Amino acid sequence: MMIDFHVHPLIDSIIDNEGILESVQKIFYWTNKPEPIDTLLSQMELAKIDKAVLLPIDCTTTYGCKLPSNEAVSKLVNEYPDKFVGFGSVDPHKKDAVKEISDVVESMGLRGLKLSPPLQKFSPNDFTLMSPIYKKIEELDVPVVIHSGMFWQFTEKLSISKPILFDEVALKHPNLKIVLSHFGFPWIWEATVVIMKHPNIYVDLANPFTTTPFEHFELIFNRILGKRVVESCIEKKILFGSCFPRIEIDKMVKALKRLPLEEKTINRIFSENAKTLLKM
C-alpha cells in the first residue's frame, strides 16, 4: 500500500462550497485554476498511491479562513473512505482549541492534526500557547503534521519553521508524534538530527522547493545526506508526501523511485512508515 502523507484537499467543489477561492489565492498562494476531485483521483491512480492524507489549515484568527474546514475533509473522507485519510486542523489562538482537538478526533473521526506556523502565526516553541495543544494531541495519540522549512509568506520570519525548534518540543512532549513537513528544507541536517534523536519525530518529502522533484531528492538524499545515512540512520523516519495541488503526485513518485536507494528503504518511505504512524 502506497501512502501520500501530504495532500491539500483544495479541490474545486470544496473551494466553491466554502467560498475560499480568494483565500486560496492570496493566503495559500495557489493561483492556478482549482482542479476537480477527478484530477486528484486520476493522479493518485497514475502514481499508484492507494491512500492520501488530507491536510486542512485553520487560519481563522490570522486570516479569517479555513483552508478548508474540517467538515469538508470529513465529508470527502466519507465519500471516498478507501482513498483518503482525513486530518483536522485547529486554530491555536482560539480559546476552545483544546476542546476542538478532541472533537476533531473523537467526534469527526479524523486521524491526526495539521498545524502551520507561518499561516497560523505561532512559534512551535511558544509553550504558553502550544503546550495545552501538544498535550491534548499527545493524549489522543494521533500524529500532527507541522509545516517546517521554506515557505513563501512574506509577512513571517523563516526562523519560526526551523526543525531544531522541535528538539525542545519533543523534550517537553516526548510522546507527541510529529511529522515535520518538507524535510525542513533547507535545514536538512537539522531535521535529520532531530528525527535521529527523537523516536516520535518524522519528516515528509512534500514539495520540491528547488528545481525538479528528482533533482531536489537527489540533492537531499545523495549530495547533502548520502545514501548510507539515509539507509542506516533515518529510513524509518521518512514519509512520502507530494503537496498536491502544488505538484503532480506522479512526478514526485517517479522521482523518488529513480533514486539509487535500497528497495527496502523506498518501501518504508512509500508505505511502512506511514502505516506505522497511522496504525494501519
Partner 1 sequence: MLTEKVTIQSKKNSELINVTDKVSELIAKSKIKEGFVQVFTLHTSSAMLINEDEPGLEEDISDFMLKLVPEEGTYRHHHFFPQDGRPAINAWAHIRSCLLGSHVALLVFNGELFKGGRQNIYFVELDGPKRRSFVVQVVGAV
**Phi and psi, residue 7, nearest 5°:** -125, 130
Quick check: 245 binds partner 1 (CB under 8 A)?
yes
Quick check: 46 binds partner 1 (CB under 8 A)?
yes
Member of 42, 123, 200, 276 binding partner 1 (CB under 8 A): 42
Quick check: 63 binds partner 1 (CB under 8 A)?
no
Member of 35, 50, 71, 103 binding partner 1 (CB under 8 A): 35
Handedness of CA 253, 40, 144, 22 (dihedral sign): positive
Member of 88, 184, 208, 241 binding partner 1 (CB under 8 A): 208
Quick check: 107 binds partner 1 (CB under 8 A)?
no
Q: Given the complex with partner 1, which of 216 and 268 has the nearer CB atom?
A: 216
Quick check: 84 binds partner 1 (CB under 8 A)?
no
Give the whole-angstrom CA distance, residue 69 versus residue 241.
21
Quick check: 247 binds partner 1 (CB under 8 A)?
yes
Least distance CB 81 / partner 1 (angstroms): 22
Least distance CB 170 / partner 1 (angstroms): 30
Give the whole-angstrom CA distance, residue 86 versus residue 55.
7
Quick check: 260 binds partner 1 (CB under 8 A)?
no
Give the whole-angstrom CA distance, residue 119 versus residue 129.
15
Quick check: 212 binds partner 1 (CB under 8 A)?
yes
Q: Among candidates 187, 223, 222, which has minimal Cα distance to 203? A: 187
Ranges of H-type helices in the chain: 12-18, 21-26, 37-47, 60-63, 70-79, 97-102, 117-120, 127-140, 165-172, 188-197, 213-218, 227-229, 249-258, 263-267, 273-278
Quick check: 13 binds partner 1 (CB under 8 A)?
no
Quick check: 43 binds partner 1 (CB under 8 A)?
yes
Member of 61, 246, 257, 267 binding partner 1 (CB under 8 A): 246
Q: What is the CA radius of gyration of the chain?
A: 17
Measure the CA angle with vertex 7, ends 4 and 11; round to 5°. 135
Quick check: 204 binds partner 1 (CB under 8 A)?
no
Q: Which residues bind partner 1 (CB under 8 A)?
A: 28-33, 35-36, 38-39, 42-43, 45-46, 152, 207-215, 245-248, 250-251
